Structure 1
C-alpha cells in the first residue's frame, strides 16, 4: 500500500500466560500455584512501597519540581523515572526487616514517577481553573490568555471537584479551609495504583527475556517468603509461556520485558514487541478515507480522491455495524451508574447509622462495589472487542479503495452535545480513543497512516460549497440545495474529513507518542462523481428456502413405494420418561412423538 519500499518500526502489546516454571538454580519445576503466590508477594511489596512513596510526596512542592523539570542545582531531570527519583532523593521505604533488591526499588520509583508526572498537568490545570472559579455561582470565567486554556471536557471535571470542595467548606464539621489558588493536593487524595511490576525499568539483574521457536522464556527474581529478610530469599525463576499464534512469522525486531499482573486466573504477562511495517508517504497519497464518529453507531466512513479534475467523491459511505454491542454497552453503563448511586446512598446512611446497622451497610456496599467492578471489567472487554473489529473493518474498506490515509476526528476538540443527557453521556463514554488506537495499529500493518483532523463543522458544512447543510429528513440526513449533493449526515462528514486530510497533507504535525495531526482547515470543492469509487460493503444474505410445487397426483393402478424418513434423533430420545402412577389423562402423560412425514407433508403442502 505504501509504494515507497521503506519500512518503519512500531510497537504493539499482547498478553500471555505461563504454562511452566522452573527454578533457575536447581532446574526443578515449580507449580503454577506456587508461582502465583511468589509473584503475589513481589507485587504486594512493590504496590505497598509505591503507595507509601506517593503518599509521602503528595505535596505541592513535588509538583512544582516536576513542572519546572529541574533539580536543586538547576539541571534538567532525566527522562527515566528511577534516575530522576534517585537524583531528587525520592526513595521508597519498606517495612522493618524486609529486604528488597535495588532493581525492585527501580521498579517502584519508575512507576511512582510516571504517576506523579502524569498528575502534574492536572495540578497546573486545577491551579489555573481555581483562580477563575466563582464559589457563589459555581461557574468558571473565560480565560484571559492562551496559557490559561484548558480543554472543555477536562475543565468540566475540575469544576465538579471545585464545587464538591465548596460544599465541604460550607459544612462546619468538614474542617476544610478556603483558598484562592488551589492545588491538586487540596482537591483530591493520593491516587490508588494497581498491583503490577513493570520489569522494563530494571536490568538483567532482575529480569531478562529470550524468545526461541515461538516460546517466550522470562527469567525473573522472585521472593521465597512474604517478607524476605535477605538476598538469599530472592531466587531466579524461569517462566515459560507460549507466544500467541497470530504473532508467528511476523517480522519482530525486538521483544521487550513484560509487565507482571495477577488476576483471578493467575499470573498474566503483558508483553510488548517492536516490528517492521510498511512506511506510507502522506504527501504522495491521492485517496483518503474519512471516519466520522456517530452517536448511533461507533463510526461511518467515506472516500475522497484527488485527481486531475480536483477533489471528487461519490458520496456513498459505509456505516459500521456494531452487531448490537453498542446497545449492550449502554445497558452495562446504566447498570454501573445505578450501582454507584446505590452504593453512595448507603455510604451516606452508614455515616450516621448505629454500629450494628453500619456493619450491615458496609457489607452491602462491598457487594455493590464488587458488582460494579465486574460490570466495568465486562465493559472493558466489550470495548476492546468492538475497537479491534471496527479497526479491521475500516482498514479493509480503505485497502479495497486503494487509500493510503485514514482521517479521524481529533478527539481533543470533539464534544458531544445537543442530543440530550442520556445520549451525550453514552457517546462521551464510547470507546473512541481505544478505537483510534486499534485502527492505527491495524492500518499500520498494511501501510496506511491514520491522521487526526479538526472535527468542527465536518457534518454541518457542505463539502462542495462550504455552506451550512439542511436537514430535510431529520438529524441523520443532509442536503445542499446549491450543489445538489447530500445523503447520510455521517457519510457527508466522512467526505469533509477526507478532504481536510488531502488538502493539509503538506502541513502534518508529528508528535511523539501520538498520531500525525493536521491542524489547519482548508476548503476546495468536492465534485460528485458518478463513477463507483468505494468498495461494495458485504451484506449478510438471507438463506434461500427452496419451495417445491405441489406433489404430483399418483397414477391409478400403480403401487408406489413410499420411503418414510425416520424421526430426527435428539439427545432427549435417550431418556425414557417414567409415567407417574395413578395419573390418567394428565399433562404429565407424554404423547407419542409426531411422525416426521406429517411435518414434511404439511410444509410441502403449504
Structure 2
C-alpha cells in the first residue's frame, strides 16, 4: 500500500451497559432495576411529546418550510435540529402539571426535526411523481426535467401507493399529492439522543477503559418540579477492542430500553490514515452477486496501461446466506398466517375473536424475533465480508475499493427465488462495514456506476458471450473471460482508476464517480492479485461412540475426533493420510484400550 496521507477522522458506534449506578449528589448506590424504571419514565415523556409534535406538524406547510430551508425572516435554517425548531416556533407539549427541563425539550425537537427532514425528500418526490401518474393506466410518464429522476425502486413503491389510493377513490383524478395524503405520521421508537443536549442534562468522562455517564433522570412518572429530577452517575465498561485506539472524541450516547434493560448506544471519533485518491494506482473492484454477497478482483495501472489477472476471490458466506433465506421464508409464513387470522377475527364472535387475537399476538412476537435474528446475521455477514475484502485489498497494495452504486442496482430477471434472495442481502450493511473497515488501513471506498459492468468486456467494451451459462463470460476478440463476477470486478476497478480525479463527495454518502470511462485492460500473465486463503469446512464427530466390544470378536478401531463446531475451519493443510480436524491426531489407539479406560471410569 502507498504511504498514507494526513490523519483523517472516522466515527463509529458501539454498545455497552451500565454495571454500577449511584446518586451523583449523595453517592448512594442505586439498583439497576430502579435505573431502568427511571429511564423508562424519561423515555415515556420524550416519546409522548415526540408523537404529539409529529401529528401536529404533519401537514404540507411543514414540508414546504423544510424544502425552502429558510425561516420567516428569510434566514437559512441551522443544521442543529433543536435550534431550527426553536427558530420556527415548533415546541412540544407535555401533560398538564408535568415539569420537563428545557434540555429534554431539545432532545425531543432534535429527534422530531431529524424525522421530518428525512421525510422531506419523500414528500418532494411524491409531489413530482403524482403529476406524472395516470390513474387510468397506473403508469408514470417519462420525466421531463433532470431533477425529476428518482430511483426506480422508490418510484415503483410510490406507484403502488398511487394505485391503491386510486382504487379507494374509484379512479377519480386527483390534484398534486403530498406525503400527508399518502400516509400518516411516522411511528418512532422510544429513545433519548443525549447528543442534542449540553452538560446540564448529561456529560461523559472516559478514564482507564471505563466510561462514566452522568445524566439527569426523573424520580417519578410525572415530575411536577425541578426537585424531582436528580442526576445519576452510570459506570460502564468500554469494549476490549477499543482499548488503545487513537480516539479523539467520545460522544454522548443514546438511551434505549430492551429486554435486558438499559442499553447505551455510544459513538466515538478516532484518527485513521488518509488516502489520496488522485495518486491511486491499484484498485479492487467489488461486484455484487445474486448467488453470494460479492466478489473482489484487482486492477493496476502501469507503464503500459491497465492490467489485471482476471482472477479474483468470491466471498464464502459460510452458510449464512442459506440460513437467512430460511429465516425469511419463516417470517413470510408467520406474516401470512397472522394476516389470515386477522381477517377471520374481523367477523368472528367475541369469544373466538379473543382467542384469535391471542394467537395473532404470539405470531407477531415470533415474527419480531425472526427479524431480530436476521438483523444480527446480516450484521455478522457484512463485517465478515468487509474484513475479507479489506485484507485482500491490503495484500494487493490497493489504495481504493470500488463498489457498485446501489441506487441504480436492481434485482430482476433472475427468477422469483434469486430475485428475492438478492434483494434481501445485506449489501448496504456490507458497504457501510467495508467503508468503516477499510478506513482503518487508509483505503478509500468509492461507488462507481454499475450499468454494463457484467455485460461488457473490460478490454474492448464489447458485449460478452455466455458460453457456460449465466455465471460465465467470454470475449472472443480479446480472448479474456472467466467468472462473470470477476470480469465485472475488473470493470469496476477500471472505472475507479480512470475516474479518480472526478470524485464527488456529499455529506453522509460515499465518494462517488458518476461517469464510467473506458480504457482497455490488458490481461497480465504475471500474478497481480494476492492468493486468498481458502478455508475448508468439514463436519466432524462431536463424541466418541460408546460401543462395548464383544468377547472373542476383534473390535473395529474407533479413532476419536477432537471436539469442533459444525463449521470448523481448517487452515493448515493436513499431512498425507490425515483426515482429521484442526490439529494433527496422534497415532490411533486400539478400541479395546478406549473401552477399558471408559469402563474404569
* TM-score, with structure 2 as normaliser: 0.89
What is the distance in 1 between the residues matched to 2:226 and 2:279? Answer: 59
What is the distance in 1 between the residues matched to 2:32 and 2:537? Answer: 48
What is the distance in 2 between the residues matched to 1:374 and 1:270? Answer: 21
Asked if residue 126 in structure 1 is aligned to residue 126 in structure 2, the reply is: yes
What is the distance in 1 between the residues matched to 2:477 and 2:558? Answer: 69
Of 210, 215, 221 in structure 2, the residue corresponding to residue 215 of structure 1 is 210
In 1, are the aligned partners of 2:218 and 2:228 still within 8 Å (CA)?
yes
Residue 95 of structure 1 aligns with which residue? 95
What is the distance in 1 between the residues matched to 2:140 and 2:283? Answer: 40
What is the distance in 2 between the residues matched to 1:75 and 1:240? Answer: 43
In 2, are the aligned partners of 1:305 and 1:311 still within 8 Å (CA)?
yes
Residue 516 of structure 2 aligns with which residue? 521
Residue 63 of structure 2 aligns with which residue? 63
Of 378, 386, 393 in structure 2, the residue corresponding to residue 391 of structure 1 is 386
Residue 289 of structure 2 aligns with which residue? 294
Asked if residue 596 in structure 1 is aligned to residue 591 in structure 2, the reply is: yes
How far apart are 1:352 and its partner, in Å?
Answer: 3.2
In 2, are the aligned partners of 1:7 and 1:279 still within 8 Å (CA)?
yes
Residue 76 of structure 2 aligns with which residue? 76
Asked if residue 400 in structure 1 is aligned to residue 398 in structure 2, the reply is: no
Residue 444 of structure 2 aligns with which residue? 449
Asked if residue 189 in structure 1 is aligned to residue 184 in structure 2, the reply is: yes
- What are the Cα deviations for residues 252-284 of structure 1, in whole angstroms up to 9, with x where unaligned? 011000001110011111111010000111111
What is the distance in 2 between the residues matched to 1:449 and 1:81? Answer: 30
Asked if residue 479 in structure 1 is aligned to residue 474 in structure 2, the reply is: yes
How far apart are 1:506 and its partner, in Å?
Answer: 1.0
Asked if residue 157 in structure 1 is aligned to residue 152 in structure 2, the reply is: no
What is the distance in 1 between the residues matched to 2:391 and 2:259? Answer: 36
How far apart are 1:598 and its partner, in Å?
Answer: 9.1
In 2, are the aligned partners of 1:292 and 1:299 still within 8 Å (CA)?
yes
Q: Quickly say closer, same or farther: Cα 1:34–1:504, change in 2 above 3 A.
A: same
In 2, are the aligned partners of 1:2 and 1:279 still within 8 Å (CA)?
no
What is the distance in 2 between the residues matched to 1:566 and 1:326? Answer: 35
What is the distance in 1 between the residues matched to 2:462 and 2:179? Answer: 44
Q: Which moved more, 1:66-75 or 1:213-222?
A: 66-75
How far apart are 1:105 and its partner, in Å?
Answer: 0.5
- What are the Cα deviations for residues 379-405 of structure 1, in whole angstroms up to 9, with x where unaligned? 110000000000000000000010111
In 1, are the aligned partners of 2:2 and 2:397 still within 8 Å (CA)?
no
What is the distance in 2 between the residues matched to 1:509 and 1:486? Answer: 32
What is the distance in 2 between the residues matched to 1:275 and 1:409? Answer: 27
Of 318, 324, 345 in structure 2, the residue corresponding to residue 323 of structure 1 is 318
Residue 307 of structure 1 aligns with which residue? 302
Q: What RMSD over aligned residues (CA atoms) do the two structures have, in Å? A: 2.3
What is the distance in 2 between the residues matched to 1:151 and 1:541? Answer: 41
What is the distance in 2 between the residues matched to 1:191 and 1:566? Answer: 63
**Secondary structure of 1:267 counterpart:** strand
* TM-score, with structure 1 as normaliser: 0.88
In 1, are the aligned partners of 2:5 and 2:276 still within 8 Å (CA)?
no
Asked if residue 226 in structure 1 is aligned to residue 221 in structure 2, the reply is: yes
How far apart are 1:140 and its partner, in Å?
Answer: 1.5
How far apart are 1:160 and its partner, in Å?
Answer: 1.3
In 2, are the aligned partners of 1:462 and 1:469 still within 8 Å (CA)?
yes
**Secondary structure of 2:369 counterpart:** helix
What is the distance in 1 between the residues matched to 2:557 and 2:470? Answer: 56
Residue 44 of structure 2 aligns with which residue? 44
How far apart are 1:136 and its partner, in Å?
Answer: 2.0
How far apart are 1:216 and its partner, in Å?
Answer: 0.3
How far apart are 1:342 and its partner, in Å?
Answer: 2.3
What is the distance in 1 between the residues matched to 2:2 and 2:31? Answer: 48
Asked if residue 199 in structure 1 is aligned to residue 194 in structure 2, the reply is: yes
Asked if residue 30 in structure 1 is aligned to residue 30 in structure 2, the reply is: yes
Residue 528 of structure 2 aligns with which residue? 533
How far apart are 1:363 and its partner, in Å?
Answer: 2.1
What is the distance in 2 between the residues matched to 1:11 and 1:85? Answer: 26
What is the distance in 2 between the residues matched to 1:340 and 1:84? Answer: 41
Of 491, 494, 502 in structure 2, the residue corresponding to residue 507 of structure 1 is 502
What is the distance in 2 between the residues matched to 1:159 and 1:345? Answer: 26
**Secondary structure of 1:181 counterpart:** coil
**Secondary structure of 1:450 counterpart:** strand
What is the distance in 2 between the residues matched to 1:484 and 1:501? Answer: 23
What is the distance in 2 between the residues matched to 1:320 and 1:567? Answer: 34
What is the distance in 1 between the residues matched to 2:167 and 2:557? Answer: 78
What is the distance in 2 between the residues matched to 1:170 and 1:242? Answer: 60
Aligned length: 554
In 2, are the aligned partners of 1:126 and 1:183 still within 8 Å (CA)?
yes
Q: Quickly say closer, same or farther: Cα 1:4–1:443, change in 2 above 3 A.
A: closer
How far apart are 1:596 and its partner, in Å?
Answer: 2.1
Give the structure with higher Rg (CA): 1
**Secondary structure of 1:205 counterpart:** coil
**Secondary structure of 2:72 counterpart:** coil
Residue 495 of structure 1 aligns with which residue? 490
What is the distance in 2 between the residues matched to 1:14 and 1:485? Answer: 45
- What are the Cα deviations for residues 475-530 of structure 1, in whole angstroms up to 9, with x where unaligned? 00000001010000000000000000001111111112111111111111111111
Q: Quickly say closer, same or farther: Cα 1:347–1:130, change in 2 above 3 A.
A: farther
Residue 18 of structure 2 aligns with which residue? 18
What is the distance in 2 between the residues matched to 1:68 and 1:567? Answer: 76
In 2, are the aligned partners of 1:256 and 1:272 still within 8 Å (CA)?
yes
- What are the Cα deviations for residues 429-480 of structure 1, in whole angstroms up to 9, with x where unaligned? 2111110000000000000000100000001000000000000000000000
**Secondary structure of 2:169 counterpart:** helix
What is the distance in 2 between the residues matched to 1:8 and 1:380? Answer: 30
